[in-house]
């Protein structure tokens, strides 16, 4: 299976969203959208991905 994370093709060993994000190297805090649909934080551990899903990982930015 493959998915696309922030425009990059990635081949995870799991289909569970939180595990895929961990394998990709993402560390909280972040917001996640799959196929342009925002995923609630509590659903990250149960959301299964399908081949070709597009994941947008949004990280907070600090500035002044």
The reply to whether the predicted model has a pTM over 0.85 is yes
**For residue 18, what are the contacts with CB-CB under 8 A and spacing of at least 6?**
44, 45, 47
The full set of domain ranges for the chain reads: 3-58
Q: Does domain 3-58 have CATH number 3.10.20.30?
A: yes
Tokens of 37: 């649909």
Interval 16-45: pLDDT, tens = 999 999 999 999 999 999 999 999 999 999
Confidence of residue 5 (pLDDT cuts 50, 70, 90): very high
How far from each other are the two terminal CA atoms of the chain, in whole angstroms? 41
pLDDT of residue 64: 66
């Amino acid at each position: 299976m493959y998915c696309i994370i922030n425009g990059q093709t990635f081949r995870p060993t799991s289909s569970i969203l939180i595990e895929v994000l961990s394998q990709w190297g993402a560390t909280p805090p972040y917001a996640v959208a799959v196929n342009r649909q925002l995923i609630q934080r509590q659903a990250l551990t149960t959301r299964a991905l399908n081949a070709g899903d597009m994941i947008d990982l949004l990280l907070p930015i600090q500035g002044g």
